[in-house]
C-alpha cells in the first residue's frame, strides 16, 4: 500500500475523530485565548506525542486481532452493543441538555503546557479502540497492511490530523465559540450521531459474516 495514501487516510480519520468539540480541542482553544497562541501550540504538540503512542498501540492491537479472526467476531458483537448504548446515552442526554449551555473548559495547571497536553491526552483513551477499529476496517478493504512502514505512516498521519484540528480550534475559536454547535447539547448530538453510524457499519459487517 502506498504510504502517502496511508498517511492521508490516518490524517482524515484522526481529524474526524477529534473535530467534535471535546476536552482536548476546547482546552487548546482556551489556553490559546488566555495565554497566547504559542502556549496553545505547545499544548497541541504534547497532545500529538501521546496520540502517536496511542495510535501505534491501536495498530499493534489491530494486527493481533487481524491474525485472530475468532476474537474479532466476538469483539465486533461487543463493540456493536457498546456503540448502540453510547448512541442512546448521548442522544438521550442531548434531549435533557439546556440549549444555551456552552462548554467552559477550566484550565488550572500553570506548568508546561507541553506536558499538560501529554497528560490530558493520556487520560483520553478513546483513540485506542477508535483507531484499532479503523485500522481493522482499512485492512479489511486492503487499504492497509501491517508492515512497520505502513503503521508508522498511518501513525504520522493520525498525529498530523490531530494537530491540524487543534490548530483550527486555536486560531478560529473566537469566530466559532458563539455558534450553536459548541453547545453541550449539540456536541452530544454529534457524538451520538457518529457512534450511531459506527454501530450501523459494525452491524453490516456482522450480518455480512453470518
Domain that holds residue 55: 3-209
Whether residue 67 is predicted with pLDDT greater than 90 in this model: the reply is no
Q: Which helix (H) or strand (E) holds 90?
A: helix 69-96
Q: Which helix (H) or strand (E) holds 40?
A: helix 37-66
Mean pLDDT, range 148-166, rounded to an integer: 95
Identify the weakest region by mean pLDDT among 32-41, 139-148, 183-192.
Answer: 183-192
b/e per residue 182-193 (b: at least 16 CB within 10 A):
bbbbbbbbbbbe
Vertex 49 angle, CA 45 and 53, to 5°: 160
Q: Report the number of distinct structural domains present in the chain.
A: 1
Whether residue 206 is predicted with pLDDT greater than 60 in this model: the reply is yes
Identify the weakest region by mean pLDDT among 6-15, 102-111, 132-141.
Answer: 102-111
Cell digits of residue 159? 498525529
91-135: pLDDT as tens digits: 776 566 555 444 444 444 445 889 999 998 998 777 888 898 889
Counting every residue, how long is the chain? 210
Q: Assess contact for 1 and 150: CB atoms under 8 A.
A: yes
Amino acid at each position: 500500500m502506498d504510504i502517502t495514501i496511508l498517511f492521508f487516510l490516518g490524517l482524515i480519520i484522526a481529524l474526524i475523530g477529534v473535530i467534535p468539540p471535546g476536552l482536548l480541542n476546547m482546552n487548546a482553544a482556551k489556553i490559546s485565548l488566555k495565554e497566547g497562541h504559542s502556549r496553545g501550540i505547545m499544548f497541541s504538540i504534547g497532545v500529538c506525542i501521546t496520540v502517536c503512542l496511542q495510535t501505534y498501540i491501536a495498530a499493534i492491537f489491530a494486527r493481533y486481532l487481524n491474525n485472530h479472526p475468532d476474537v474479532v467476531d466476538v469483539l465486533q458483537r461487543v463493540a456493536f452493543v457498546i456503540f448502540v448504548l453510547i448512541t442512546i446515552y448521548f442522544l438521550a442526554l442531548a434531549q435533557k441538555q439546556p440549549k444555551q449551555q456552552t462548554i467552559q473548559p477550566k484550565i488550572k495547571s500553570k506548568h508546561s503546557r507541553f506536558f499538560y497536553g501529554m497528560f490530558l491526552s493520556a487520560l483520553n483513551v478513546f483513540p485506542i479502540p477508535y483507531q484499532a477499529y479503523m485500522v481493522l476496517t482499512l485492512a479489511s478493504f486492503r487499504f492497509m497492511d501491517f508492515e512497520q512502514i505502513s503503521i508508522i505512516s498511518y501513525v504520522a498521519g493520525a498525529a498530523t490530523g490531530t494537530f491540524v484540528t487543534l490548530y483550527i480550534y486555536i486560531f478560529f475559536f473566537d469566530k466559532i465559540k458563539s455558534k450553536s454547535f459548541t453547545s453541550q447539547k449539540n456536541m452530544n448530538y454529534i457524538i451520538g450521531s457518529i457512534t450511531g453510524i459506527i454501530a450501523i457499519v459494525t452491524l453490516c459487517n456482522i450480518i455480512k459474516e453470518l
